Amino acid sequence: MDRPTHLDSQGHAHVVDVREKAETHRIAVARARVRTRPEVARAILDGQTPKGDVAAVVRVAAIAGAKRTSDLVPLCHPLPLTHLAAEFAVDPRGVLTIVVRAECVGRTGVEMEAMAGASIGALTAYDMIKGLDREARIEAVELLEKDGGRSGHYLRGAGERIALVDRPIVVDDVLAAVAHPSAGGQVLFLGTVRDHADGQPVTLLEYEAYATMAVAEMGRCVAEVEAQFPGVRLAVTHRVGALQIGDLAVVCAASAPHRGEAFGAARALIDAIKHRVPIWKREHGPDGPYWVDFVDARCTGEEHLHRADRHHFPVGHGHEHHEAKP
Amino acid sequence: MSDTVKLLAFAGAREMIGEAELAFPVARGLTARGLLDAVCARYPRLVPYAGSIRVAINGTYAAWDEPVRAGDEVALIPPVAGG
Protein backbone atom coordinates (compact mmCIF):
# COMPACT_ATOMS: atom_id res chain seq x y z
CA MET A 1 0.00 0.00 0.00
CA ASP A 2 1.17 3.52 -0.76
CA ARG A 3 2.19 5.39 2.32
CA PRO A 4 0.08 8.42 3.28
CA THR A 5 1.27 11.52 1.36
CA HIS A 6 1.87 13.52 4.52
CA LEU A 7 4.39 11.04 5.99
CA ASP A 8 7.95 10.87 4.71
CA SER A 9 9.95 7.64 4.20
CA GLN A 10 10.59 7.40 7.96
CA GLY A 11 6.92 7.87 8.72
CA HIS A 12 7.41 11.42 9.94
CA ALA A 13 4.98 14.14 9.07
CA HIS A 14 6.20 16.53 6.41
CA VAL A 15 4.86 19.17 4.09
CA VAL A 16 4.40 17.28 0.86
CA ASP A 17 6.46 18.03 -2.23
CA VAL A 18 4.16 19.64 -4.79
CA ARG A 19 6.82 20.55 -7.41
CA GLU A 20 5.19 18.20 -9.89
CA LYS A 21 1.69 19.59 -9.48
CA ALA A 22 0.44 22.12 -12.01
CA GLU A 23 0.20 25.77 -11.11
CA THR A 24 -3.44 26.68 -11.49
CA HIS A 25 -5.78 29.44 -10.41
CA ARG A 26 -7.25 28.16 -7.17
CA ILE A 27 -10.31 29.46 -5.37
CA ALA A 28 -11.85 28.50 -2.07
CA VAL A 29 -14.78 29.93 -0.14
CA ALA A 30 -15.46 29.01 3.47
CA ARG A 31 -18.08 30.04 5.96
CA ALA A 32 -18.35 30.17 9.73
CA ARG A 33 -21.40 30.98 11.78
CA VAL A 34 -21.75 32.42 15.25
CA ARG A 35 -25.06 31.90 16.94
CA THR A 36 -26.12 34.51 19.45
CA ARG A 37 -29.34 36.06 20.71
CA PRO A 38 -31.57 38.21 18.50
CA GLU A 39 -31.00 41.24 20.80
CA VAL A 40 -27.25 40.94 20.24
CA ALA A 41 -27.72 40.75 16.48
CA ARG A 42 -29.91 43.82 16.72
CA ALA A 43 -27.23 45.63 18.75
CA ILE A 44 -24.64 44.84 16.08
CA LEU A 45 -26.92 46.12 13.34
CA ASP A 46 -27.59 49.28 15.36
CA GLY A 47 -23.89 49.83 16.12
CA GLN A 48 -24.58 49.47 19.86
CA THR A 49 -21.89 46.94 20.79
CA PRO A 50 -19.35 47.69 23.55
CA LYS A 51 -16.26 47.12 21.41
CA GLY A 52 -17.35 49.12 18.39
CA ASP A 53 -17.86 48.17 14.76
CA VAL A 54 -18.11 44.38 14.77
CA ALA A 55 -18.29 43.99 11.00
CA ALA A 56 -15.14 46.00 10.28
CA VAL A 57 -13.07 44.25 12.94
CA VAL A 58 -14.28 40.79 11.96
CA ARG A 59 -13.49 41.35 8.28
CA VAL A 60 -9.97 42.53 9.03
CA ALA A 61 -9.42 39.65 11.47
CA ALA A 62 -10.62 37.09 8.93
CA ILE A 63 -8.20 38.38 6.33
CA ALA A 64 -5.32 38.49 8.80
CA GLY A 65 -6.18 34.98 9.97
CA ALA A 66 -6.21 33.58 6.47
CA LYS A 67 -2.70 34.97 5.88
CA ARG A 68 -1.36 33.15 8.94
CA THR A 69 -2.70 29.74 7.96
CA SER A 70 0.63 28.08 7.21
CA ASP A 71 1.99 29.26 10.59
CA LEU A 72 -0.96 27.76 12.44
CA VAL A 73 -1.72 24.53 10.60
CA PRO A 74 1.39 22.35 10.70
CA LEU A 75 1.36 20.66 7.30
CA CYS A 76 0.08 23.58 5.21
CA HIS A 77 2.27 25.15 2.55
CA PRO A 78 2.74 28.91 2.69
CA LEU A 79 0.83 30.17 -0.34
CA PRO A 80 1.26 33.31 -2.41
CA LEU A 81 -2.31 34.53 -2.08
CA THR A 82 -3.51 36.73 -4.91
CA HIS A 83 -6.85 37.67 -3.39
CA LEU A 84 -8.51 37.54 0.00
CA ALA A 85 -11.93 38.90 0.84
CA ALA A 86 -14.11 38.57 3.90
CA GLU A 87 -17.76 39.37 4.33
CA PHE A 88 -19.75 39.60 7.51
CA ALA A 89 -23.51 39.31 7.63
CA VAL A 90 -25.94 39.61 10.51
CA ASP A 91 -29.24 37.80 10.55
CA PRO A 92 -31.52 39.61 13.03
CA ARG A 93 -32.63 36.23 14.34
CA GLY A 94 -29.16 35.90 15.90
CA VAL A 95 -26.88 34.32 13.34
CA LEU A 96 -23.63 36.01 12.36
CA THR A 97 -22.04 34.70 9.19
CA ILE A 98 -18.44 35.14 8.10
CA VAL A 99 -17.58 34.18 4.52
CA VAL A 100 -13.98 34.21 3.35
CA ARG A 101 -12.85 33.86 -0.22
CA ALA A 102 -9.19 33.04 -0.91
CA GLU A 103 -7.46 32.80 -4.27
CA CYS A 104 -3.97 32.07 -5.44
CA VAL A 105 -2.11 30.84 -8.46
CA GLY A 106 -0.30 27.86 -7.08
CA ARG A 107 0.27 24.14 -6.77
CA THR A 108 -1.96 23.42 -3.83
CA GLY A 109 -5.43 24.41 -2.73
CA VAL A 110 -6.43 27.48 -0.74
CA GLU A 111 -9.25 25.93 1.25
CA MET A 112 -7.28 25.98 4.51
CA GLU A 113 -6.73 29.71 4.10
CA ALA A 114 -10.45 30.26 3.58
CA MET A 115 -11.29 27.98 6.54
CA ALA A 116 -8.69 29.64 8.81
CA GLY A 117 -9.95 33.08 7.85
CA ALA A 118 -13.55 32.12 8.59
CA SER A 119 -12.50 30.56 11.90
CA ILE A 120 -10.52 33.60 13.06
CA GLY A 121 -13.35 35.84 11.89
CA ALA A 122 -15.77 33.80 14.02
CA LEU A 123 -13.44 33.93 17.05
CA THR A 124 -13.17 37.68 16.62
CA ALA A 125 -16.94 38.03 16.33
CA TYR A 126 -17.22 36.15 19.63
CA ASP A 127 -14.63 38.46 21.19
CA MET A 128 -16.58 41.49 19.98
CA ILE A 129 -19.89 40.35 21.49
CA LYS A 130 -18.88 38.26 24.50
CA GLY A 131 -19.70 41.19 26.81
CA LEU A 132 -23.32 40.91 25.62
CA ASP A 133 -23.58 37.15 25.22
CA ARG A 134 -20.96 34.87 26.71
CA GLU A 135 -23.05 31.89 25.56
CA ALA A 136 -22.71 32.75 21.88
CA ARG A 137 -21.23 29.80 20.06
CA ILE A 138 -19.22 29.23 16.95
CA GLU A 139 -20.72 26.60 14.74
CA ALA A 140 -20.47 25.14 11.27
CA VAL A 141 -17.07 26.19 9.96
CA GLU A 142 -17.31 24.72 6.49
CA LEU A 143 -15.99 24.83 2.97
CA LEU A 144 -18.60 26.20 0.58
CA GLU A 145 -16.74 26.10 -2.69
CA LYS A 146 -13.39 25.01 -4.11
CA ASP A 147 -12.06 25.19 -7.63
CA GLY A 148 -8.83 24.87 -9.54
CA GLY A 149 -7.49 21.58 -8.26
CA ARG A 150 -7.51 18.02 -9.56
CA SER A 151 -10.87 17.35 -7.94
CA GLY A 152 -12.55 19.98 -10.12
CA HIS A 153 -15.28 22.32 -8.99
CA TYR A 154 -16.90 21.62 -5.67
CA LEU A 155 -19.96 23.47 -4.45
CA ARG A 156 -21.27 22.54 -1.05
CA GLY A 157 -24.87 21.52 -0.87
CA ALA A 158 -25.36 21.54 -4.63
CA GLY A 159 -27.29 18.34 -4.08
CA GLU A 160 -29.20 19.73 -1.12
CA ARG A 161 -30.66 22.62 -3.03
CA ILE A 162 -33.24 20.19 -4.34
CA ALA A 163 -35.12 17.98 -1.96
CA LEU A 164 -38.19 15.80 -1.73
CA VAL A 165 -39.18 15.13 1.87
CA ASP A 166 -41.90 13.24 3.69
CA ARG A 167 -41.82 15.43 6.79
CA PRO A 168 -42.53 19.11 7.45
CA ILE A 169 -40.40 21.47 5.36
CA VAL A 170 -37.96 23.64 7.27
CA VAL A 171 -38.12 27.00 5.49
CA ASP A 172 -34.79 28.15 6.94
CA ASP A 173 -33.02 25.20 5.32
CA VAL A 174 -34.34 26.12 1.88
CA LEU A 175 -33.40 29.76 2.40
CA ALA A 176 -29.93 28.81 3.65
CA ALA A 177 -29.33 26.83 0.48
CA VAL A 178 -29.47 30.03 -1.61
CA ALA A 179 -27.70 32.33 0.86
CA HIS A 180 -24.81 34.03 -0.85
CA PRO A 181 -22.73 37.07 0.05
CA SER A 182 -23.42 38.72 -3.29
CA ALA A 183 -27.17 38.32 -2.91
CA GLY A 184 -28.96 41.60 -2.38
CA GLY A 185 -32.35 39.99 -2.14
CA GLN A 186 -33.97 36.67 -1.39
CA VAL A 187 -37.46 35.66 -2.40
CA LEU A 188 -39.39 32.79 -0.86
CA PHE A 189 -42.45 31.13 -2.33
CA LEU A 190 -44.41 29.04 0.14
CA GLY A 191 -47.02 26.75 -1.36
CA THR A 192 -49.56 25.74 1.28
CA VAL A 193 -52.54 23.42 1.37
CA ARG A 194 -55.69 25.51 1.15
CA ASP A 195 -59.12 24.55 2.36
CA HIS A 196 -60.91 24.70 -0.96
CA ALA A 197 -60.52 23.85 -4.64
CA ASP A 198 -62.87 25.04 -7.35
CA GLY A 199 -65.37 26.19 -4.77
CA GLN A 200 -65.44 22.89 -2.88
CA PRO A 201 -64.01 22.34 0.59
CA VAL A 202 -60.84 20.30 0.92
CA THR A 203 -59.99 18.63 4.19
CA LEU A 204 -56.82 16.70 3.38
CA LEU A 205 -54.32 16.37 0.57
CA GLU A 206 -52.13 13.43 -0.24
CA TYR A 207 -49.08 14.04 -2.39
CA GLU A 208 -47.46 11.23 -4.32
CA ALA A 209 -44.25 11.50 -6.34
CA TYR A 210 -42.20 9.53 -8.81
CA ALA A 211 -39.37 10.31 -6.45
CA THR A 212 -36.25 9.77 -8.55
CA MET A 213 -37.65 11.60 -11.54
CA ALA A 214 -39.21 14.34 -9.38
CA VAL A 215 -35.81 15.16 -7.90
CA ALA A 216 -34.17 15.05 -11.34
CA GLU A 217 -36.90 17.18 -12.91
CA MET A 218 -36.72 19.76 -10.10
CA GLY A 219 -32.97 19.86 -10.75
CA ARG A 220 -33.59 20.50 -14.45
CA CYS A 221 -36.09 23.26 -13.61
CA VAL A 222 -33.54 24.89 -11.28
CA ALA A 223 -30.75 24.67 -13.87
CA GLU A 224 -32.91 26.12 -16.64
CA VAL A 225 -34.22 29.02 -14.57
CA GLU A 226 -30.72 29.79 -13.24
CA ALA A 227 -29.48 29.91 -16.82
CA GLN A 228 -32.30 32.29 -17.69
CA PHE A 229 -31.55 34.65 -14.77
CA PRO A 230 -27.76 35.08 -14.42
CA GLY A 231 -26.56 35.55 -10.85
CA VAL A 232 -29.57 33.81 -9.35
CA ARG A 233 -29.34 30.84 -6.98
CA LEU A 234 -32.38 28.67 -6.50
CA ALA A 235 -33.50 25.96 -4.12
CA VAL A 236 -36.67 23.96 -3.81
CA THR A 237 -38.07 21.44 -1.37
CA HIS A 238 -41.31 19.59 -2.03
CA ARG A 239 -43.14 17.52 0.51
CA VAL A 240 -45.03 14.29 -0.13
CA GLY A 241 -47.42 12.25 2.00
CA ALA A 242 -50.57 13.35 3.82
CA LEU A 243 -50.78 17.09 4.42
CA GLN A 244 -53.31 19.10 6.41
CA ILE A 245 -54.77 22.51 5.61
CA GLY A 246 -52.06 25.14 6.04
CA ASP A 247 -49.13 22.73 5.74
CA LEU A 248 -46.30 23.71 3.45
CA ALA A 249 -46.33 21.56 0.32
CA VAL A 250 -43.51 23.28 -1.54
CA VAL A 251 -40.94 25.96 -0.75
CA CYS A 252 -38.93 27.72 -3.44
CA ALA A 253 -36.14 30.16 -2.62
CA ALA A 254 -34.28 32.49 -4.94
CA SER A 255 -31.39 34.78 -4.19
CA ALA A 256 -30.04 37.35 -6.62
CA PRO A 257 -27.99 40.51 -6.67
CA HIS A 258 -31.20 42.50 -7.15
CA ARG A 259 -34.83 41.90 -6.25
CA GLY A 260 -36.12 41.90 -9.80
CA GLU A 261 -34.25 38.75 -10.77
CA ALA A 262 -35.04 37.13 -7.43
CA PHE A 263 -38.80 37.63 -7.89
CA GLY A 264 -38.67 36.66 -11.55
CA ALA A 265 -36.67 33.50 -10.95
CA ALA A 266 -38.77 32.39 -7.99
CA ARG A 267 -41.92 32.78 -10.11
CA ALA A 268 -40.40 30.96 -13.07
CA LEU A 269 -39.25 28.13 -10.81
CA ILE A 270 -42.59 27.46 -9.15
CA ASP A 271 -44.37 27.67 -12.51
CA ALA A 272 -41.96 25.13 -14.03
CA ILE A 273 -42.31 22.83 -11.04
CA LYS A 274 -46.09 22.86 -11.16
CA HIS A 275 -46.02 22.22 -14.87
CA ARG A 276 -43.44 19.44 -15.08
CA VAL A 277 -42.45 17.71 -11.88
CA PRO A 278 -44.07 14.28 -11.52
CA ILE A 279 -45.94 14.88 -8.29
CA TRP A 280 -49.65 14.27 -7.88
CA LYS A 281 -52.18 15.27 -5.32
CA ARG A 282 -55.28 13.54 -4.17
CA GLU A 283 -57.74 15.94 -2.64
CA HIS A 284 -60.28 14.80 -0.11
CA GLY A 285 -63.48 16.79 -0.50
CA PRO A 286 -67.15 16.29 0.33
CA ASP A 287 -67.59 13.68 -2.43
CA GLY A 288 -64.54 11.68 -1.40
CA PRO A 289 -61.00 11.74 -2.71
CA TYR A 290 -59.98 12.40 -6.32
CA TRP A 291 -56.70 12.90 -8.16
CA VAL A 292 -56.41 16.55 -9.13
CA ASP A 293 -56.57 17.15 -12.90
CA PHE A 294 -57.06 13.46 -13.69
CA VAL A 295 -60.16 13.82 -15.79
CA ASP A 296 -62.07 11.18 -17.69
CA ALA A 297 -62.15 12.23 -21.35
CA ARG A 298 -65.71 10.94 -21.65
CA CYS A 299 -66.77 13.73 -19.32
CA THR A 300 -64.96 16.62 -20.99
CA GLY A 301 -67.33 17.75 -23.70
CA GLU A 302 -67.03 21.28 -25.07
CA GLU A 303 -69.12 22.70 -22.26
CA HIS A 304 -67.07 20.93 -19.58
CA LEU A 305 -63.49 21.78 -20.44
CA HIS A 306 -62.99 23.59 -17.18
CA ARG A 307 -61.05 21.49 -14.70
CA ALA A 308 -63.76 22.12 -12.13
CA ASP A 309 -66.08 19.90 -14.09
CA ARG A 310 -65.22 16.92 -11.94
CA HIS A 311 -67.31 18.55 -9.25
CA HIS A 312 -70.26 19.31 -11.51
CA PHE A 313 -71.24 15.75 -12.17
CA PRO A 314 -73.35 13.84 -9.75
CA VAL A 315 -71.76 11.07 -7.74
CA GLY A 316 -71.73 7.83 -9.68
CA HIS A 317 -71.18 9.39 -13.08
CA GLY A 318 -67.70 8.03 -13.43
CA HIS A 319 -65.90 10.88 -11.76
CA GLU A 320 -64.88 9.09 -8.64
CA HIS A 321 -61.84 7.84 -10.45
CA HIS A 322 -60.38 6.38 -7.33
CA GLU A 323 -63.21 3.90 -7.10
CA ALA A 324 -64.31 3.52 -10.71
CA LYS A 325 -64.91 -0.06 -11.73
CA PRO A 326 -64.63 -1.40 -15.23
CA MET B 1 -39.52 -15.16 -22.48
CA SER B 2 -40.15 -11.86 -24.17
CA ASP B 3 -38.21 -8.73 -23.35
CA THR B 4 -39.87 -6.42 -20.90
CA VAL B 5 -39.67 -2.92 -19.49
CA LYS B 6 -40.26 -1.99 -15.89
CA LEU B 7 -43.56 -0.14 -16.16
CA LEU B 8 -44.41 2.28 -13.36
CA ALA B 9 -47.86 3.78 -12.98
CA PHE B 10 -48.61 6.66 -10.66
CA ALA B 11 -51.63 8.30 -9.04
CA GLY B 12 -54.81 7.88 -11.10
CA ALA B 13 -53.04 5.80 -13.74
CA ARG B 14 -51.96 3.35 -11.06
CA GLU B 15 -55.53 3.03 -9.84
CA MET B 16 -56.84 2.35 -13.35
CA ILE B 17 -54.22 -0.35 -13.91
CA GLY B 18 -54.38 -1.73 -10.41
CA GLU B 19 -50.61 -2.09 -10.12
CA ALA B 20 -47.86 0.38 -9.27
CA GLU B 21 -45.16 -1.57 -11.04
CA LEU B 22 -45.12 -4.45 -13.49
CA ALA B 23 -42.96 -6.05 -16.15
CA PHE B 24 -44.54 -5.14 -19.48
CA PRO B 25 -43.52 -6.91 -22.68
CA VAL B 26 -42.11 -4.77 -25.47
CA ALA B 27 -41.51 -5.69 -29.08
CA ARG B 28 -38.48 -4.44 -30.95
CA GLY B 29 -39.04 -0.99 -32.47
CA LEU B 30 -41.80 -0.04 -30.03
CA THR B 31 -42.16 3.71 -29.41
CA ALA B 32 -43.44 5.55 -26.35
CA ARG B 33 -46.75 6.05 -28.19
CA GLY B 34 -46.90 2.38 -29.08
CA LEU B 35 -46.24 1.39 -25.50
CA LEU B 36 -49.04 3.60 -24.15
CA ASP B 37 -51.40 2.11 -26.76
CA ALA B 38 -50.36 -1.40 -25.75
CA VAL B 39 -50.90 -0.63 -22.06
CA CYS B 40 -54.34 0.80 -22.85
CA ALA B 41 -55.20 -2.32 -24.85
CA ARG B 42 -54.36 -4.48 -21.87
CA TYR B 43 -55.95 -2.14 -19.30
CA PRO B 44 -59.08 -0.65 -20.96
CA ARG B 45 -59.95 1.36 -17.86
CA LEU B 46 -57.02 3.61 -18.73
CA VAL B 47 -58.39 4.47 -22.18
CA PRO B 48 -60.55 7.47 -21.19
CA TYR B 49 -57.51 9.09 -19.57
CA ALA B 50 -54.91 8.18 -22.16
CA GLY B 51 -55.07 11.59 -23.86
CA SER B 52 -53.69 13.28 -20.77
CA ILE B 53 -50.95 10.77 -19.94
CA ARG B 54 -47.30 11.44 -20.74
CA VAL B 55 -44.59 8.82 -20.86
CA ALA B 56 -41.17 9.08 -19.21
CA ILE B 57 -38.32 6.79 -20.13
CA ASN B 58 -35.59 6.31 -17.55
CA GLY B 59 -36.65 9.37 -15.60
CA THR B 60 -37.04 11.85 -18.46
CA TYR B 61 -40.12 12.84 -20.43
CA ALA B 62 -40.06 11.02 -23.76
CA ALA B 63 -41.15 12.23 -27.18
CA TRP B 64 -43.93 10.02 -28.61
CA ASP B 65 -41.67 8.60 -31.29
CA GLU B 66 -38.87 7.80 -28.87
CA PRO B 67 -37.98 4.10 -28.86
CA VAL B 68 -38.62 1.97 -25.79
CA ARG B 69 -36.03 -0.73 -25.17
CA ALA B 70 -36.13 -3.84 -23.05
CA GLY B 71 -34.81 -3.06 -19.60
CA ASP B 72 -35.95 0.59 -19.64
CA GLU B 73 -37.87 2.06 -16.75
CA VAL B 74 -40.99 3.49 -18.33
CA ALA B 75 -43.43 5.58 -16.31
CA LEU B 76 -46.98 6.63 -17.07
CA ILE B 77 -47.29 10.23 -15.94
CA PRO B 78 -50.86 11.47 -15.52
CA PRO B 79 -51.36 15.27 -15.33
CA VAL B 80 -49.00 16.50 -12.64
CA ALA B 81 -50.30 18.59 -9.76
CA GLY B 82 -47.38 19.43 -7.52
CA GLY B 83 -47.00 22.67 -5.67
For chain A, what are the domain ranges?
24-155, 162-282, 293-323
pLDDT tens digits for range A227-253: 899 889 999 999 999 999 899 999 999
pLDDT surpassing 60 at residue A55: yes
- Residue of A221, A238, A282, A295 to mutate, interface with B, max B Cβ within 10 Å: A295
Asked if B45's CB is within 8 angstroms of A294's CB, the reply is no
Edge to edge, the sheet with strand A241-244 lists A241-244, A204-209, A279-285, A288-291
Residue of A220, A280, A304 best to disrupt the B interface, most CBs of B under 10 A: A280
CATH code linked to domain A24-155 = 3.30.70.640
Query: Which DSSP symbol is given to A281?
Result: E
Closest CA to A318 of A296, A287, A292, A288: A296
Q: Which residues contact B33 (CB under 8 A, 6 or more apart)?
A: B55, B64, B65
Does the beta carbon of B6 lie under 8 angstroms from any beta carbon of chain A?
no
Average per-residue pLDDT for chain A: 85
Residue A167 has a pLDDT of 82
Using one digit for the tens of pLDDT, what is the confidence trace for A250-297?
A: 999 999 999 999 999 999 999 999 999 999 999 988 888 889 888 876
Cα separation, B12 vs B49, whole angstroms: 9
For the domain made up of B4-77, give the CATH fold: Ubiquitin-like (UB roll) (3.10.20)
Q: Please compute the mean of the pLDDT values over residues A67-83 and round it to a whole number.
A: 93
Confidence band, pLDDT 50/70/90 cuts, at residue B1 = very low
User: Which region among A87-101, A111-125, A303-317, B31-45 has the lowest average model confidence (pLDDT)?
Assistant: A303-317
> Which CATH number is A162-282's, of 3.90.1170.40, 3.40.50.10490, 2.40.40.20, 3.30.450.40?
3.90.1170.40
pLDDT value of residue A318: 33
Is A91 noted as a catalytic residue in this protein?
no
Mean pLDDT lowest for which of A3-7, A312-316, B76-80? A312-316
Question: Closest-CA residue in chain B for A320?
Answer: B12
In angstroms, the CA A126 to CA A66 distance is 17
**For range A44-72, the mean pLDDT:** 94
Closest CA to A36 of A172, A141, A176, A135: A135
